[in-house]
Structure 1
Amino acid sequence: MSPNTKKCLKTKEMVNNEIKTISAYIINLKSRVDRKEHILKEFAGRPEFTAHVVEACQHKIGAVGLWNTIRHIVQNLVNEDDEYVLICEDDHQFTASYSKELLFNSIASAQNRNADILLGGISWFKGIVQIEDPLFWVKSFNGTQFLIIFRKLFTSLLAADFNDNDTADFKISILAESQFFIHPFISVQKDFGYSDATPNNNQEGHVGELFATSSEWIQNLKSVGFYYENINRQIEDESDEDVYHNLIIPTYVINLPERTDRLEHIKKQFKGKPEFNVTIVEACNHKIGSVGLWQSIRKIINLAMENDDDVIIICEDDHEFTEYYFKEYLMKNIIEAHLQGINYLSGGSSYTDNEILIADNRFWVSNCLATQFIILYKSFFQQIIDEPFDDGVIVDRLLSEMTSKKMVLYPFISRQHDFGYSDVTTIHNENKNLVNRLFEESDKKLNAIYIMHQKYNSVDI
């Protein structure tokens, strides 16, 4: 479809929307007269909505009552000809960003992408992709105070099981294949100082902080994406592919001498890979494993500075290459990340936060855990040496907090081999197979974001 055709369709949609109204079902407990008064004021003078106050289903667990009410609305109250409905909780509050045109255009954009739901604002999220301004895809979310549900989700919603430990937002996240939200938010929750559905929100000011933090992070990610988009234009075609084949990276492997099983394992990982100049570094012994690991990293950084290394790889002896590793892939990303001004590149992470795809195979992240295979650049060396630490140091968290210039390779080229014990992280000794589960969950999340980015963004990164 040509851009002009799309524009004409959007214009037609807006003309039609001038006379269209949205069926809005407002959930309210009969006893909450303060909330009812508030929500009716929110919809007063907004003829684009046909508002219906729905008495909430009572249940000893508020979240179950909310879910039962949502099901009741979908099953019994929705008009047969409604393509979608708006379900509001009685603490919904329109923001200054709201406009009728913005809402209807966002609904049209979501419909064009076969949406299941469209959210007016979210208090928490995990995994987002900007589709266009102001539409975002989201993997998981909190916040059902302004929820547009499209008819295609009705059957799944009505058939879903819901137990006492479930919440409506997480359940919908699981059921919906295509979920979107609007940013800047057009809806937030008014803070009444209590919550009938979410006990954690029974603290004055807490709800407002959640929405403000969520919105701030979304804006930050938009800025990060814009920043790297500009850098990518500047460095385009600067890297020389011939370099990928000839590059040899100083690689320092941390190993305790008594861990001969790990030493044998890690030597096999690098066998036949001349692109790595491997040095086995005896780990610093300390009664606290994480302190010993940080001291070992500092020891390696001092060696790298003495050797005048520009970039190094630090591996723990439980590193294991994945099936996605090949030399050119790693070297290409090391060089490109350097051109982007990165301090720290991870070969694979057991946990990430606030991810945004900024290159074909690299995510910028706000948090990055796991140090089994990390690439550190010279620009970061002195900062590591100067960083204060104590016996409470958690190495991956500290490295992640020290710089915003960090990325994760995707697909991962490295995971942790599960030896059934850990010299650094005692929780891995108490929870068998935890390492594998963490990496699997991390991979699933990044894969979902990656797929949605490819699906919805036609512009090359």
Structure 2
Amino acid sequence: MKSISIPTYIINLKNRSDRRAHILQEFEGRDEFNATIIDAHRHEIGSIGLWNTIKVIVTQALEQEHDYILICEDDHLFTAAYSKETLQLAISEAISFDADILSGGVSWHGDGVAISDTLFWVKKFSGTQFIIVFKKFFQPILNAAFTPADTADTKITDCSDRVYFIHPFISVQKEFGYSDATDKNNGTDRVEQLFTQSAAGAEINRSIRSFYKTPLAPESVSDEQEEEDATIPVYIMNLPERTERREHILQQFEGRLEFDVTLVNACKHEIGAFGHWQSIQKIIQLAINNDDDVIIICEDDHEFTPAYSREILFKSIYTAYQQGCDYCSGGAGKFDIAVPITNNLFWTNHCLSTQFIIVFRKFFQKILDAKFDETIIGDIILSEMTGNKMIIFPYISTQKDFGYSDITAFHNSVEGIVQFMFAVSEDRLITMNKIFVSHHNQLKNMLSDTAATVLVK
């Protein structure tokens, strides 16, 4: 790999001599950077001053026809993970993925996808203390309209879906006790905490991907005939007086021979969520009595989506089982971190909604043994009970809006909120799945080309 000397522009306000001394020390002796101090533009709104400075830098880079540049803020701090070789590899990979932006470390990120041992793709991020900007993104920066409500990091992700960061982080921000761009960071150690949390989230993502790379055992997959004849027990909870819900849910399963349906009288309690959890435990006890290996617990507002198919359901169940999953959701109104495992399954650390959940036998007793009181919320406690849970993608289940909920009072106060939450959550998975599939295919092609070259030689 050729040695690099990256055009590096360091943003610094003239009166911030403490920051200038710090940042010059960070780059001292690092000949891989060709560093220039840029006088930051002053503005009563710090974020506007930062963006105007970035535009000046990009204009200069465009005129000098650089292929890429490093824009660095004066609070950047190299981590122990930094090396010239790591940065070179990350830049090379980013170029191969047609990146617009490559960050050395982010203080927050949303919906990151690990695409290699070095890089994460990210939908949104915060932290612009160390960003590589590639030539093809120079003009979009110059063309972007920037308002007082914007920040540099959010504007970048508004303009690009090709943003990546390096992990482990090679850059964080040094605490100076004040910020010229972000008022809420003044007088706190908030930035340091944010970088620590962001790095931990990325590490969880990477460790989950690594864990689920274990090859599936082919002998554990049923043959086509077994799959064709298989049925799965479905336990539907329904309050006897909710006849419109019972009629709806029975219609959902009508003619679907892959399901063995049992209606269960839901437990009634003045606190709906408490009765809901009692109903879940009642169903689990029935499953144990019936010697079931895997069941579906279904609420009476479940509704199959157009994406549902018997094939996707059974394929997801078999794969989740092979990977040691405790339970799997057919669709969730909200989740926190999600990691693509296959084209049809995402791991998640927290999963809202229990209208359609697949529960495996090894998780039955844990549900029965769970301690609970009248503050319990079923989907939250289930998420907290295990780190091995998944969501099926595309969603095969959503919730029908009956205009009321017997469990969650919030759903009664905002019309259409459930459908909105499901749509937003699935859109997040759609984006991550698209990134996962496209980068996975690109990496396979790159490896195939490399192998072919070796064979030719």
TM-score, normalised via structure 2 length: 0.91
Partner in structure 2 of residue 284 of structure 1: 267
Tell which deviates more after alignment, 199-208 or 245-254.
199-208
Which amino acid in the other structure matches residue 204 of structure 2?
A: N
The Cα shift of 1:272 comes to: 0.9
Unpaired segments of 5 or more residues in structure 2? 445-457
Deviations 1:118-142 (A, max 9, x none): 0101122222232322122122222
1:190-269 aligned within 5 A? 190-202=174-186, 204-230=188-214, 232-235=215-218, 238-269=221-252
* C-alpha separation in 2, matches of 1:64 and 1:429: 41
Partner in structure 2 of residue 332 of structure 1: 315
- 2:333 counterpart of 1:350: yes
Partner in structure 1 of residue 292 of structure 2: 309
Q: Secondary structure at the match of 1:351?
A: coil
* C-alpha separation in 2, matches of 1:424 and 1:228: 34
Query: Residues 360 and 55 from structure 1, CA distance in 2 versus in 1: closer, same or farther, beyond 3 angstroms?
Result: same
- 2:156 counterpart of 1:172: yes
Does the 8 Å contact 2:216/2:323 carry over to 1? Answer: no
Tell which deviates more after alignment, 100-109 or 318-327.
100-109
The equivalent position to 2:96 in structure 1, one of 84, 107, 112, is 112
Tell which deviates more after alignment, 321-330 or 98-107.
98-107
Partner in structure 1 of residue 351 of structure 2: 368
- 2:120 counterpart of 1:136: yes
Which amino acid in the other structure matches residue 249 of structure 1?
A: I
Tell which deviates more after alignment, 336-345 or 201-210.
201-210
* C-alpha separation in 1, matches of 2:184 and 2:247: 49
* C-alpha separation in 1, matches of 2:219 and 2:96: 33
Q: Secondary structure at the match of 1:356?
A: strand
* C-alpha separation in 2, matches of 1:268 and 1:62: 58
Q: Secondary structure at the match of 2:111?
A: strand
Tell which deviates more after alignment, 107-116 or 277-286.
277-286
Does the 8 Å contact 1:23/1:49 carry over to 2? Answer: yes
Does the 8 Å contact 1:239/1:336 carry over to 2? Answer: no
Query: Residues 164 and 339 from structure 1, CA distance in 2 versus in 1: closer, same or farther, beyond 3 angstroms?
Result: same
The equivalent position to 1:322 in structure 2, one of 291, 305, 310, is 305
* C-alpha separation in 2, matches of 1:135 and 1:432: 41
The Cα shift of 1:42 comes to: 0.9
The Cα shift of 1:27 comes to: 1.9
Query: Residues 235 and 93 from structure 1, CA distance in 2 versus in 1: closer, same or farther, beyond 3 angstroms?
Result: farther
The Cα shift of 1:203 comes to: 5.5
Partner in structure 1 of residue 401 of structure 2: 418
The Cα shift of 1:214 comes to: 2.0
Which amino acid in the other structure matches residue 81 of structure 1?
A: E
- 2:396 counterpart of 1:380: no
- 2:106 counterpart of 1:122: yes
Identity of aligned residues (%): 50
1:44-123 aligned within 5 A? 44-76=28-60, 78-123=62-107
Does the 8 Å contact 1:120/1:185 carry over to 2? Answer: yes
Q: Secondary structure at the match of 1:363?
A: strand
- 2:134 counterpart of 1:150: yes
The Cα shift of 1:320 comes to: 0.9
Query: Residues 429 and 182 from structure 1, CA distance in 2 versus in 1: closer, same or farther, beyond 3 angstroms?
Result: same
* C-alpha separation in 1, matches of 2:375 and 2:39: 51
The Cα shift of 1:184 comes to: 1.3
Q: Secondary structure at the match of 1:224?
A: helix
Deviations 1:334-382 (A, max 9, x none): 1221121110111111222322222231111112111111011111111
How large is the RMSD of aligned CA atoms in angstroms? 2.0
* C-alpha separation in 2, matches of 1:320 and 1:79: 57
The equivalent position to 1:451 in structure 2, one of 413, 434, 445, is 434
Which amino acid in the other structure matches residue 289 of structure 2?
A: E
Partner in structure 2 of residue 5 of structure 1: none
* C-alpha separation in 1, matches of 2:409 and 2:298: 19
- 2:393 counterpart of 1:391: no
* C-alpha separation in 1, matches of 2:11 and 2:195: 20
* C-alpha separation in 2, matches of 1:288 and 1:68: 54
* C-alpha separation in 1, matches of 2:379 and 2:24: 49
The Cα shift of 1:400 comes to: 0.9
* C-alpha separation in 2, matches of 1:21 and 1:154: 19
Which amino acid in the other structure matches residue 35 of structure 1?
A: R
The Cα shift of 1:399 comes to: 0.9
* C-alpha separation in 2, matches of 1:274 and 1:297: 24
Deviations 1:35-77 (A, max 9, x none): 2221111112122222222233333333333223222322356
User: How many residues are treated as equivalent by the alignment?
Assistant: 443
Q: Secondary structure at the match of 2:30?
A: coil
Deviations 1:8-46 (A, max 9, x none): xxxxxx22xx2x422222222333322222111111212
Query: Residues 72 and 391 from structure 1, CA distance in 2 versus in 1: closer, same or farther, beyond 3 angstroms?
Result: farther
* C-alpha separation in 1, matches of 2:425 and 2:189: 32
Does the 8 Å contact 1:126/1:353 carry over to 2? Answer: no
Query: Residues 56 and 290 from structure 1, CA distance in 2 versus in 1: closer, same or farther, beyond 3 angstroms?
Result: farther
* C-alpha separation in 1, matches of 2:331 and 2:219: 25
* C-alpha separation in 1, matches of 2:185 and 2:247: 51
Partner in structure 1 of residue 455 of structure 2: none
Does the 8 Å contact 1:192/1:204 carry over to 2? Answer: no
Partner in structure 2 of residue 189 of structure 1: 173
The Cα shift of 1:235 comes to: 4.4
Which amino acid in the other structure matches residue 64 of structure 2?
A: E
* C-alpha separation in 1, matches of 2:364 and 2:399: 24
Partner in structure 2 of residue 39 of structure 1: 23
The equivalent position to 2:388 in structure 1, one of 405, 408, 420, is 405
Partner in structure 1 of residue 453 of structure 2: none
